[in-house]
Amino acid sequence: MPDHEAVTSTLDPLDWSELRALGHRMLDDVIDDLAGVAEAPVWRPMPEEVRDAWQGGLPRGGAAMADVYREYRRLIAPYGVGNRHPRFLGWVHGGGTAVGMLAELLAGGLNANCGGRDHAPIACERQVVRWAAEMLGLPQDSSGLVVTGTSMANFVAVLVARTAALGAQSRRRGAGAVRLAAYAATGAHLCVSRALDMAGLGADALHLVSADAAGRLDVALLEQRIAADRDAGMQPFLVVGTAGSVDTGAIDDLAGLADCCARHGLWFHVDAAFGAIAMLSPVLRPRFGGMERADSVAFDFHKWAQVPYDAGCIVVRDHAAHRAAFARSVAYLRRETRGLAAGEPWPVDLGPELSRGFRALKVWMTLKAYGADRIGEVAFRCCALAERLAARVRSCPALELMAQVSLNVVCFRVRGGDDAVQTRIVADLQQAGRTVLSTTVIEGACVLRAAFCNHRTTWSDVDLVIDDVVKAAMWAAEPRCLEDVAAL
Ligand SMILES: *Cc1c(COP(=O)(O)O)cnc(C)c1O
């Protein structure tokens, strides 16, 4: 029976020394893991006994934390995604840093709820948003939030653009008979259409416009489409430019899109999920001309800025428009001019979430500790690695480059192999724990895709990837066993 007369029900230990020692050991272990990450396999599949371990029911009684930690080391630590590893090139994933990890620890310790009120974590988040605006070339009084990722940031942007187009009453009554239309390039990320879906406008409200040979949205076609949709009784309201497409790294003609939006009175949003961080590199920045004219920009800190998952950001030029899309007042969230309930606007006035963790701390610490220039150099170096891989592909008779390299993504193919062979090579290399690549489809053909997004990747990793792919292609062409690949 629970003892209701007990002096305290605290979950804190009576004696902190044991927990403290365990905490120190965890820190040592995880720093060891990070320091040795390149020597470990990129990824390894979960063995059956590990999968089976996830079937247990709700633990009614507790266990010693040391035992729970031992389970973590056995069941979880070895079987992550692998994105910390220098040869994780499969998807656009950041590698994380020890600085970001320590910031997560501090944020967990502080346990701040960043939905609102007047406290330093909110001030820290506002500073991060101002830094983001500076990076993007947007005004310093732009509004914004640190959110989970670009999917959420795009969703917030769609809601702001919708309210700006239809007026505040649409928040109560919905869009009614108005048929809103949004536009993006065919290579736009799926989360853009999902944002329209979640906003209740329907995924079909996103009209995809063909891209040119370099993967950039064709602005002349966009103009025609807008005119045709108006004639058909629709209300165009939003253009989503992509600055770094997920498939090929293509960057839309942002200045051209800004001109088009200005001509037609449309909201200009940019999905710069990873591209935004490239603006910290003076060499790469000119490719993003026109970004400074966006009404809103969505991007991630967890990709190229190497902040641990999750951390994305939405920046909105017009803070009044941003607030108009979300702010509501209720008695239990009453604002005051002093005390803890002061400090308007609160993050809850700017997005869908009320309770929120202190994500901004790991961003703030990353930018403070490394400096924005160093992060920009990481992005630049990743692009140089992509160029090197593309050069190696071009000079290798067994391989074929399948898309222009605009930034950090290289799409290539093993000559003479059908789509199944390309897929098999990727899976074999993943299972061997050597290299993680992914596949995508370019002009109807399945291709291998390498995205450079990790500060740990070196030139010799690029050479290893080429060697691995060529060897795996040889094995893929004839019966072979995985041990052969593992022994590469
Ligand atoms: C990764 C990515 C997204 C989605 O961002 P999340 O942080 O995964 O939600 C959107 N657009 C582009 C171009 C991306 O690369």
Same domain flag for 212 and 291:
yes
| Single residue among 370, 386, 409 that ends a domain in this structure | 370
Alpha-helical regions (H) of 36-139: 48-52, 65-75, 98-110, 120-136
| Single residue among 370, 396, 412 that ends a domain in this structure | 370
Q: Which domain holds residue 468?
A: 374-486
Q: Mean pLDDT across the stretch 465-488?
A: 71
Q: Cβ neighbours of residue 161 under 8 Å, at least 6 residues apart?
A: 182, 237, 238, 267, 269, 295, 296
Same domain flag for 60 and 115:
no
371 pLDDT higher than 90:
yes
Identify the DSSP state of 348: G
Question: pTM for the complete prediction?
Answer: 0.95
Q: How many separate domains does the chain show? A: 3
| Single residue among 370, 387, 404 that ends a domain in this structure | 370
Which helix (H) or strand (E) segment holds residue 236: the answer is strand 235-242
Same domain flag for 130 and 214:
yes
| pLDDT at residue 481 in the model | 46
Atom nearest to 152 CA in ligand 1: 9
Residue 468 included in any domain: yes
Residue 99 included in any domain: no
Residue 320 included in any domain: yes
Same domain flag for 273 and 144:
yes
The Å distance, Cα 14 to ligand 1 centre, comes to 45
pLDDT in tens, 160-176: 999 999 999 999 998 88
pLDDT in tens, 228-239: 999 999 999 999
| pLDDT at residue 482 in the model | 47
68 pLDDT higher than 90:
yes
Per the structure block, which two tokens stand in for 302?
Answer: 């967890």
Same domain flag for 434 and 379:
yes
In this structure, which amino acid lies at residue 115? G
Average pLDDT, the chain: 94
pLDDT in tens, 271-322: 999 999 999 999 999 999 999 999 999 999 999 999 999 999 999 999 999 9
Same domain flag for 113 and 244:
yes
Band of pLDDT at residue 155, cut at 50, 70 and 90: very high
Same domain flag for 26 and 159:
no
**Residues 369 and 99: beta-carbon distance below 8 Å:** yes
CATH of the domain at 294: 3.40.640.10
> Ligand 1, from 91, 93, 146, 151: best to mutate by most atoms within 8 Å of Cβ?
151
Please list every protein residue whose CB sits less than 6 Å from any atom of ligand 1. Answer: 92, 149-151, 189, 191, 242, 244-246, 271, 273-274, 300, 312
Same domain flag for 444 and 480:
yes
483 pLDDT higher than 80:
no
DSSP 377-415: HHHHHHHHHHHHHHHHHHH-TTEEE-S--SSSEEEEEET
> Ligand 1, from 271, 407, 453: best to mutate by most atoms within 8 Å of Cβ?
271
